[in-house]
Amino acid sequence: MEVLQLLVSGISQGCVYGLIALGFVLIYKATEMVNFAQGDLMMLGAFFAYTYLNLMELHFLVALPLTIFTMAILGAFTERVMIRPMIGEPHFSVLMLTIGLGFILRAAAGAIWGNEPRSLDLPYAGGVIDLGGLIIGYENLVIVIGTAMLCTLLFLFFRFTRLGIAMQAASQNQLAAFYVGIPVKRIYSLVWAISAGISAVAGILVAPVSLIDPLIGFIGIKAFAAAIVGGFGSLPGAIVGGLIIGIVEQFAGLYLPTGFSDVSAYVILLVMLLIRPEGIFATMQQKKV
Amino acid sequence: MRFIRKTHYKQDIQLFKHEGQVFWYGLLAAGLLAAPFLLSDFYLGELSLVFIYAIAGIGLMLLTGYTGLVSLGHAAFLAIGAYTHAYFLAQGWPFLLSATTATLFTALIGGIVGIPALRMTGIYLAVATLAFAIIVEQVLVHWESVTGGFRGMAVELPAIGALALDGSFNFYFLCLAVLVVSLWLALNLLRSPTGRAMTAIRDSEISAQSMGIHLAYTKTTAFAISAGFTGLAGSLLAHKIGYLAPDSFTLLTSIQLLLMVVVGGLGSLHGVIYGAIFIGFLPQGIAVLRDTLPSGIAQIPGLEPGIFGLILVLVLIYEPLGIYGRWLKIRSYFEAFPLYRKAMHKRQRSYLRTERLR
Amino acid sequence: MSPQPTEKSLLAANGLTLTFGGVHAVDDVSFSVEPGEVFSIIGPNGAGKTTLFNLISRIYDANAGTISFEDDDISAVPTHRIAELGIARTFQNTELFEQETVLRNLLIGQHVHRQTNLLQEFLFLPSVRKQELAFRKEVEDIIDLLDLQHYRHQVIANLPYGIRKMVEVARALCIKPRLLLLDEPSSGLNPEETEDLSFQIEDINEELGTTVIMVEHDMNLVSQVSDRVMALADGKRLAIGTPQEIQQHPEVLKAYLGD
């Protein structure tokens, strides 16, 4: 039973990693840029939700879309102002840029909302389901269901909509996509908007589990590990990688000495990079000459 | 514009290419030697810190600026150097032996970290080094018998034989000497085959291989050398801060080191120095800024990392070649006056064509 | 039609095959190159010419077949050892060290002749200094041969395409190879530059005694400089012979012009 209980919390934690990883992967797939500030976007999403729910006391069903919308706008804005001038620059520069962006966002959040941990007034917080001794909190359940729904939506979007297919094309060959009339620049903004929207959802989902403060964005690093374990550039891989790391972390916390739980995500990452650097769902290929 | 008449191939491998350079660097050396007699203890201490940053920066520049391998975890090497040095000093080892051991040990660890790095490029490597740094940080916290855990450990005072090096005056010269030697070593490396092999790997791995460069060997070497310099800087830093604790070597430290090489200018040792000066005096600058800003803004916690981030972003967007790149532009503006055109320093951009299958 | 290998071929490929997910990029190709000749490989796009080069320079592993160089089997030699053995190559779209000067690019070509170790280089001992001067001398000879004096201290990223192509040939020559692989040396060159190229290939072949294998589309250039030509199509060898023989070969005409 204890194992099951750990599994449940591992899965729900893993879903959060997976969602942030999804944001990473989306941007990477479309633009081959790595957004290291993804975790901080999630933090910002959580703070916006806090503003709408706690401070403005809006209804949850109003606050949720409003948060996603705000973050999407912010994502597109970031792309327009910071990322677009960097198109054509080495990947490393963009990586550094987004690290810088993360620092800025953290300072900004600290300035606006303060550094004390906050909790969200969510309608479903606190409730539990008792499955014959196995206690599942509503918040964990919502995380899993929310993740599943979001993944389905994304899958349908990329498979069946014109826009989704155009995005895939732009991700494979910028110039070719441009020549066939795909508005590559607008697509980039859109990808950032979607990615920021997803992290807003992640932020709302994670809020009841861990309190919100400007530093929660750091779990973005673990999510990043998840994205790589799953095979960078693979959407299902991001979720699978997140689940692996979430579950292992829970078990390491119980069965291994203190400290191991904190580093287990990174150990998994390093082991993975050693034995199968291309990740579970490989998408990389050797450079052609 | 300066025209140099070359009469021998030797002129291209000399450290100083012409008399002008000899003159300016001579002036700089004189200034640095005179500084301790003119400056207050506080500024002397700050300058020593700049030198230490610069030594670590040489390490990171060799790896990131010259070999093209990005490390987000160089704070770990700084920490390993610092802790190893402090540990052996506490065991009663003499200063020089202890510092050398710390340098070599860090280089060894760097080489070991470099081995898995062989199979990774770009972002994978950056994240792997980041993971390594976080693991090292945890080890520092939990390996209490050696590191003192959260309580930290005190560092013995530096001394070579009977010569105490702890005062800001003596310590300044120690750091300066180590920096000069480090620069000399790095310059030597860059004008010989190994240095060229490193830059070759940065620009094109595939043709580096076809030129007979052993990728694995060269990358591991680059990692070891880089870690070695950073470890050396760490052992000096140990004395500078006097008391080691895990929170002196966090992700922020790694980013600070990267910020230094990026702001200074990737791919140049001049850039390291400019970057070190920048990083070294930035906290003072921010302190001054705090005094002038309205208290509401000035009291923002985390203002400093935020400003770091802002500077990083602005540099990357507006001057990706850093301070050194800007200096080159200014110089060629005056040299070519009035013929200078913006296009003289136009950079090439490449467009994305992915190698991914899906 | 194909001449039998003489007493000792420089390079011999036997039954080389490489598939990419079911597509036969190179399919059972055998040929041999004699010391001192200029050997061209022609064929329509996608015929497997560059793939063949990548096999010889050990960037790809063959699925089947062997390659031998001077009677030594090199089918399993690691990529970086190829240059040491005396095989140098250029790339179709140039793979130069973009942020370095021409001079440093060529000095990297000298890497295989390095005698010093890391410690000596750190201290820049006299042995390293001597080696650097010797390297420079060699490099200058190549610069003279290919007329690159003007560009010596320029950074690659600022050079026009035609010059880059030449720099890449120069860099390959710095290895002092016995076998030089040129991958579409004339692509992107104007007619005048192509004309120069043909003389330079002849110089390389005659003055340095370097054997050349060349992948090329320009039939003028091919017939001007080649001793023998191999035609490939769909990864298969169609024919080997003198340029005249190949140009009239029915299979080759069919591959180029269709049925």
Any C CB within 8 A of A287 CB: no
Q: What residues of B are in contact with residue A232 (Cβ under 8 Å)?
A: 123-124
**Beta-carbon contacts of residue B238 (< 8 Å; ≥ 6 apart):** B81, B82, B83, B85, B86, B155, B244
Contacts of C92 in chain A (CB under 8 A): 289
Rounded Cα gap, residues C236 and C213, in angstroms? 18
**How many whole angstroms separate alpha carbon C89 and alpha carbon C93?**
12
pLDDT of residue B353: 46
Output the six-digit token pair for C54. Answer: 């990548």
* Beta-carbon contacts of residue C58 (< 8 Å; ≥ 6 apart): C74, C77, C78, C79, C81, C82
Between A260-275 and B95-117, two packed helices, what is the crossing angle to 10 degrees? Answer: 60
The answer to whether position C94 is within a domain reads no
Minimal C-alpha gap between A283 and chain C (Å): 15
Ordered DSSP codes for B48-82: HHHHHHHHHHHHHIIIIIIS----S-HHHHHHHHH
Most confident of B225-229, C195-199, C208-212, C245-249: B225-229
Residues 94 to 133 of C: which have CB under 8 A from any B CB?
95-100, 103-104, 107-112, 114, 116, 118, 121-124, 128-129, 131-133
pLDDT digit string (tens) for C55-69?
999 988 888 999 999
Query: How far is the alpha carbon of B179 from chain A, nearest alpha carbon, in Å?
Result: 27
Q: How confident is the model at residue B282 (pLDDT cuts 50, 70, 90)?
A: confident
Interface test with B, best of C53, C90, C121 (most B CBs within 10 A): C121
Q: Is the CB of residue A66 less than 8 Å from the CB of residue A50?
A: no
List residues of B whose CB lies inside 8 A of any C CB: 9-10, 12-13, 185, 188-189, 191-197, 199-200, 202-204, 206-215, 221, 267, 347-348
Asked whether the beta carbons of residue B123 and residue A289 sit closer than 8 angstroms, the reply is: no
Q: By three-state DSSP, how is residue B164 classified?
A: strand
Quick count: other Cβ atoms within 10 Å of Cβ A100?
Answer: 29
Tell me the per-residue pLDDT of A75-86, one tens digit each, with 9 for 90 and over.
Answer: 999 999 888 888
Do C182 and C170 belong to one domain?
A: no
Structure tokens at A266: 């990174």
CB contacts, 8 Å: B206 with chain A:
287, 289
pLDDT score of A101 more than 50: yes
Which chains, if any, share at least 3 CB pairs under 8 A with chain A? B, C
Residue C233 structural domain: 1-86+177-259
Residue A140 pLDDT > 80: yes
DSSP state of B246: G
B195 CB neighbours in chain C (<8 A) are 121
CATH 1.10.3470 holds for B36-344? yes
Does C163 lie in the same domain as C183? no
Q: Are B44 and B35 in contact (CB under 8 A)?
A: yes
Can you give the residue ranges of every domain in chain B? 36-344
More confident residue, C41 or A163: C41
Residue with token string 């002196």: B248
Distance from CA of B197 to the nearest CA of C (A): 7
Residue of A nearest to C94 (CA): A289
Cβ neighbours of A90 in C, within 8 Å: none
Contact call for residues B157 and B167 (beta carbons, < 8 A): no
Amino acid making up residue C203: D
Question: What's the rounded Cα separation, in Å, for the pair B260 and B282?
Answer: 11
Q: From CA B259, how far away is CA B320, in angstroms rounded?
A: 12
**Residues B74-94: what's their mean pLDDT?**
94
pLDDT of residue B299 exceeding 70:
no
Give the end of a domain, one of C175, C208, C224. C175
Mapped to the 3 state alphabet, what secondary structure does chain C carry? CCCCCCCCCCEEEEEEEEEECCEEEEEEEEEEECCCCEEEEECCCCCCHHHHHHHHCCCCCCCEEEEEECCEECCCCCCCHHHHHCEEECCCCCCCCCCCEHHHHHHHHHHHHCCCCHHHHHHCCHHHHHHHHHHHHHHHHHHHHCCCHHHCCCEHHHCCHHHHHHHHHHHHHHCCCCEEEEECCCCCCCHHHHHHHHHHHHHHHHHCCCEEEEECCCHHHHHHHCCEEEEEECCEEEEEECHHHHHHCHHHHHHHHCC
pLDDT tens for each residue of A209-257: 788 888 888 888 888 888 888 887 778 888 999 999 999 988 888 888 7
Residues of C in contact with B267 (CB under 8 A): 99
Cα–Cα distance measured from residue B269 to residue B190, given in angstroms and rounded to the nearest whole number? 10
DSSP A96: H
Provide the pLDDT for residue B355.
42
Q: Calculate how close chain B gets to C119, using CA atoms only, in Å.
A: 9
Answer whether residue C93 is part of any domain.
no
Percent of chain B topping pLDDT 90: 37
Beta-carbon separation of C91 and B207 below 8 A: yes
Question: At C259, is the pLDDT very low, low, confident or very high (cuts 50, 70, 90)?
Answer: low
pLDDT at B229 over 90: yes
Beta carbons of B312 and B262 less than 8 angstroms apart: yes
List subunits contacting chain C, requiring 3 or more Cβ pairs under 8 Å.
A, B
Which three-class secondary structure state does DSSP give residue A137?
A: strand
In the predicted model, what is the mean pLDDT of chain B?
Answer: 85
Chain C nearest CA to B189, separation (Å): 5
Q: How confident is the model at residue B357, as a pLDDT?
A: 38
In this complex, do B313 and A228 lie within 8 Å of one another by their Cβ atoms? no
User: Which residue is closest to A265 within chain B, CA to CA?
Assistant: B131
What mean pLDDT comes out for the span A258-285? 76
The CA distance from B146 to B83, in Å, is 9
**Residues in chain C, overall count:** 259
Q: Closest Cα partner for B175 from B238, B118, B218?
A: B238
Q: What sign results for the dihedral spanned by CA atoms B201, B205, B208, B213?
A: positive
Task: Looking at A213-259, list the stretches that DSSP marks H as alpha helix, in order from N- to C-terminal side.
Answer: 219-230, 235-255
Domain end residue (candidates: C136, C155, C175)? C175
Residues C9 and C134 in one domain: no
Give the residue from chain B lying closest to A106, CA to CA: B306
The H or E element that residue B259 is part of is: helix B251-264
A71 within 8 A of A44, measured Cβ to Cβ: yes
B26-59 pLDDT tens trace: 889 888 888 888 888 888 999 999 999 999 999 9
Residue C224 falls inside a structural domain: yes
Instruction: Inform me whether the pLDDT recorded for B354 exceeds 60.
Output: no
Dihedral sign for Cα atoms in the order B28, B33, B35, B41: positive
Q: Around B127, how many Cα atoms within 13 Å sit in the side-chain half-sphere?
A: 31
pLDDT of residue B300: 65
In tens, the pLDDT along A156-196 reads 888 888 888 888 777 777 777 778 888 888 888 999 999 99
Q: Side-chain half-sphere of B338: how many Cα atoms within 13 Å?
A: 0
Of A128-137, B267-276, C87-96, C114-123, least confident by mean pLDDT is A128-137
| Tokens 């070719």 -> residue | A176
| C160 and C33 co-located in one domain | no
For residue C183, the chain A residue with the least C-alpha distance is A289
Please, what is the angle between helix A260-275 and helix A235-255, to 10°? Answer: 140
**Domains in chain C, number:** 2
Give the Cα separation of A105 and C126 in Å (integer): 54
Q: Is C251 an interface residue toward B (CB < 8 Å)?
A: no
Task: Answer yes or no: is C163 within a domain.
Answer: yes
Cis omega (within 30 of 0) for bond into C44: no
Question: Strand, coil or helix: what is A135?
Answer: strand
CA A265 to chain centre: 15
The answer on pLDDT for B9 being more than 90 is: no
**Comparing C-alpha atoms, which of B315, C163, B190, C51 is closest to residue A100?**
B315
Q: What CA–CA distances, in Å, run from C124 to A202, B195, B220, C117?
A: 56, 12, 21, 10
Pick from B302, B305, B355: which is nearest to A284 by CB? B355
Q: Which of C83, C122, C128 sits opposite B212 (nearest CB)?
A: C83
Among chain B residues, CA nearest to A172: B354
C89 contacts B197? CB cut-off 8 A: no
Residues in chain B within 8 Å Cβ distance of C122? 185, 188-189
For residue A69, what are its two tokens? 């919308």
Token pair in block for residue B357: 């299958």
Cβ distance of B212 and C91 shorter than 8 Å: no
pLDDT, one tens digit per residue, over C12-35 is: 999 999 988 778 888 899 999 999
Last residue of a domain, one of C175, C194, C211: C175
A contacts of B135 (beta carbons < 8 Å) = 263, 266-267, 270
User: Which residue of C74, C108, C171 is the best one to mutate when testing the B interface, meaning the one whose CB has the most B CBs within 10 A?
Assistant: C108
**Nearest Cβ partner of B128 from A173, A259, A270?**
A270
ipTM of model:
0.87
Distance, in angstroms, between B193 CA and closest chain C CA?
6
Residue ranges per domain, chain A?
2-215
Which chain A positions have a beta carbon within 8 Å of B320's beta carbon? 89, 93
Contact C10, C69 (CB under 8 A): yes
Whether residues C185 and C164 share a domain: the answer is: no
Residue C54 forms contact with A (CB below 8 Å): yes
Tell me the C-alpha distance between A196 and A239, whole Å. 17
